[in-house]
């Protein structure tokens, strides 16, 4: 086994080295993510040395100086160069600077702002031109991705890049209500967003499980409704300033009238059913809902929203508005009497009444309303924005009616779908027949990271790197759709994201070490590398009843949403079955690895009982790998098997499809394809 491990390590090093050399042989210009609108390779090199300096001209916002300084410091960190220039300031206007930034005007965070840029890299100089500093910030991220190395040191390929975003709303929603995410988590994800040219961070700040922002007018909201886990107003201001400096807007969401239990812990008088209330510890859709028929509700929300409107400067204010089941409204006699008196026939109509009252409040405080699909009801004015979780049809229907909208359906990254699924999902598909005046109402989209099953330890692994592909969908031309090339570039970007503090790689080993009681993790890692959490919301229906205080430290929590080894393995199978024998040895290598890993993992499990739940899946991986090796041999020799052989192997396949510990083997379908490709007598 020690010899096998040595072979495995050598093979891995060879695989990584070969991949690196291929990436270098190809131009790094082909590795960019998001793909720019236009790239012209000038086939030269701009050499980087310690004399490298940056000058800024034009009339930019001050944020460009911080952005340029951060880029300079990233270059220093990656190369080890002690640059002569420490920071870029408004006095950095040297005619001899090697990197010149020219911005015509300050950029304003919001819709319809110019974000384009052009980047011209010659052997002796780099010029970044943009209408606004927001465009220049995007250009800096592109430049940073172009850092290359050869035998003579570090360089940038000479090129002309002309770039602009496809959509103006390129967002990520982070739910900090169900599981609170502290400031450092938010900031590192803001940095990652900026690197991928995303420009909206939507914070889901209240739900049944917690209220997460300090109110100085109603301090009891967090005192009683947060378990002490919330953002102070100073922290919110700090996050907003941090995001602004990186060209990112912060959109607050306070969910009303449903998903509102945490409000009623301190203010039961605003609820539609009598209290007392306590913070909800379970997950799901619950009954508590604001009472829309009493003036106290609107007086309270006027004061609270007014306070939050001053705290959050963005033009848009999200009210949630989703998943109100109406049960507490139906059970309240006074609410039913109000509906009858005012000719309000349904719960949906009552919510429209509520939303219109809220809209007046937000308008009073100079905000524009945004909400989930449910806020779109007859009679709502079309100056609201619809965030569609129900799908493209709902989004398109709203756009045809004149409502602006953003798409989140298909970007629910908490559902553990593969990157390719998200990547090919499009706010406006290439074959769309929508007229141009309707397309203009579709602003873009948001990836949504709901937090029932994540903590600050593993949230980055659920967001990244898959959201990088979503970011490309929002930025790049709609013709950029090559899935294989996306996966190739995604592996590169995943490592580059670490430079911005994201933890999707380093926390993986940490969580595995804990699962092995700080023993050797190699066998466990070999196994967990090829499993994934079950898809959708199946984890909630597989014998485990999760709550907000459940352990999120098991194998399923460490496992990545998508195994890149599985992605490659499925490609190897497809190529082998096409007759490309070059992939035969790769298939044999991986399946031998999984066969031999089983006894090693058995030893690890003995030392760590928390791993026992995945033991049957480890055996299944061994069994189907042995079956796969047989299939490769038979196919290679053009030999046939009998029906009993096929039946026996299919039993193994069907057994391996069963999830254990809310995780599953994704490569089963690929090995099944191998087995079914064997000729049968």
Angle at 538 between CA 533 and CA 539, to 5 degrees: 60
Pairing between β-strand 200-207 and β-strand 249-256 as defined by DSSP bridges: parallel
Burial of residue 138 (number of CB atoms within 10 Å: 0-12, 13-18, 19+): buried
Strands 442-449 and 368-372: unpaired
What sign results for the dihedral spanned by CA atoms 398, 404, 407, 409? negative
Distances in Å between the Cα of 369 and the Cα atoms of 261, 305, 321, 390 are 22, 12, 11, 19
Q: Is the dihedral of CA 618, 621, 622, 623 positive or negative?
A: positive
DSSP one-letter code for 543: S
Distance of CA 606 to the CA centre of its chain: 36
- The residues, ordered by sequence, that sit 6+ positions from 651 with a Cβ below 8 Å of its Cβ are none
Q: At what angle do helices 584-607 and 564-577 cross, to 10 degrees?
A: 150
Please, are residues 121 and 29 in contact by the beta-carbon 8 Å criterion?
no
Pick from 321, 292, 459, 453: which is nearest to 387 by CA?
Answer: 321
Unique residue bearing structure tokens 């090199």:
45
What's the CA gap between 437 and 36, in Å, rounded?
25
Catalytic residue from among 113, 315, 323, 498: 323
Residues whose CB falls within 8 Å of the CB of residue 435, separated by 6 or more in sequence, listed in order = none
Distance CA(353)–CA(147), nearest Å, equals: 55
Structure tokens given for 601:
């993992």
Q: Report the 10 Å Cβ neighbour count for 485.
A: 14
323 is catalytic: yes
Q: Any idea which residues carry the catalytic annotation?
A: 323
């Amino acid at each position: 086994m020690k010899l096998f491990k040595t072979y495995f390590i050598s093979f891995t090093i060879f695989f990584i080295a070969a991949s690196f050399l291929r990436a270098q042989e190809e131009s790094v210009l082909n590795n960019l993510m998001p793909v720019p609108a236009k790239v012209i390779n000038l086939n030269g090199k701009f050499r980087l040395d310690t004399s490298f300096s940056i000058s800024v001209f034009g009339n930019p916002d001050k944020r460009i100086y911080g952005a340029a300084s951060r880029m300079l410091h990233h270059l220093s960190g990656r190369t080890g160069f002690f640059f002569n220039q420490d920071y870029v300031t408004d006095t950095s206007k040297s005619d001899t600077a090697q990197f010149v930034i020219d911005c015509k005007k300050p950029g304003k965070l919001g819709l319809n702002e110019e974000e384009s840029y052009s980047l011209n890299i010659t052997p002796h100089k780099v010029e970044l031109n943009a209408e606004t500093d927001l465009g220049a910030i995007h250009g800096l991220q592109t430049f940073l991705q172009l850092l290359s190395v050869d035998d003579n040191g570090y360089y940038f390929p000479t090129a002309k890049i002309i770039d602009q975003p496809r959509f103006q709303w390129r967002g990520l929603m982070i739910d900090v209500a169900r599981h609170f995410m502290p400031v450092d988590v938010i900031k590192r994800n803001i940095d990652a967003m900026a690197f991928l040219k995303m420009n909206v961070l939507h914070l889901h700040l209240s739900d049944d499980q917690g209220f997460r922002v300090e109110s100085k007018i109603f301090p009891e909201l967090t005192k009683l409704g947060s378990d002490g886990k919330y953002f102070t107003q100073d922290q919110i201001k700090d996050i907003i300033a941090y995001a602004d400096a990186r060209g990112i807007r912060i959109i607050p969401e306070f969910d009303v009238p449903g998903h509102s239990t945490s409000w009623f812990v301190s203010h039961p008088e605003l609820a539609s059913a009598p209290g007392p209330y306590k913070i909800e510890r379970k997950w799901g859709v619950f009954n508590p809902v604001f009472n829309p028929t009493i003036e106290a509700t609107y007086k309270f929300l006027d004061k609270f929203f007014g306070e939050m409107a001053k705290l959050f400067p963005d033009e848009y204010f999200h009210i949630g508005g989703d998943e109100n089941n109406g049960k507490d409204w139906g059970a309240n006699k006074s609410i039913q009497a109000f509906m009858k008196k005012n000719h309000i026939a349904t719960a949906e109509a009552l919510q429209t009444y509520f939303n219109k009252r809220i809209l007046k409040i937000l308008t009073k405080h100079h905000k524009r309303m945004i909400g989930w699909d449910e806020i779109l009801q007859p009679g709502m004015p079309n100056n609201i924005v619809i965030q569609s979780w129900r799908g493209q049809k709902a989004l398109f229907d709203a756009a045809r009616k004149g409502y602006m909208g953003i798409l989140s359906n298909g970007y629910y990254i908490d559902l553990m779908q593969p990157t390719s699924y998200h990547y090919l999902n499009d706010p406006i598909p290439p074959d769309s027949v929508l007229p141009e005046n309707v397309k203009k109402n579709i602003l873009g989209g948001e990836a949504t990271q709901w937090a029932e099953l994540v903590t600050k330890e593993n949230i980055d692994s659920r967001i990244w790197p898959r959201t990088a592909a979503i970011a490309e969908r929002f930025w790049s031309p709609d013709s950029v759709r090559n899935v294989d090339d996306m996966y190739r570039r995604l592996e590169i970007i995943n490592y580059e994201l670490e430079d911005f503090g994201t933890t999707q790689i380093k926390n993986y080993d940490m969580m595995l070490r804990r699962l092995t009681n700080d023993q050797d993790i190699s066998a466990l890692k070999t196994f967990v590398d090829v499993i994934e959490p079950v898809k959708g919301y199946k984890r909630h229906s597989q014998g485990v009843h999760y709550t907000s205080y459940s352990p999120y430290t098991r194998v399923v929590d460490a496992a990545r949403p998508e195994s890149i080894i599985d992605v490659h393995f499925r490609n190897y199978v497809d190529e082998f079955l096409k007759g490309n024998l070059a992939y035969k040895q790769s298939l044999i290598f991986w399946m031998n690895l999984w066969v031999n890993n089983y006894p090693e993992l058995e030893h690890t499990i003995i030392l760590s009982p928390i791993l026992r739940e995945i033991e049957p899946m480890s055996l299944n991986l061994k069994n189907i790998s042995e079956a796969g090796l047989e299939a490769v041999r038979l196919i290679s020799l053009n030999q046939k098997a009998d029906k009993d052989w096929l039946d026996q192997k299919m039993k193994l396949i069907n057994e391996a499809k069963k999830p254990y510990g809310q995780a599953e083997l994704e490569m089963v379908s690929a090995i099944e394809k191998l087995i079914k490709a064997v000729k049968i007598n």
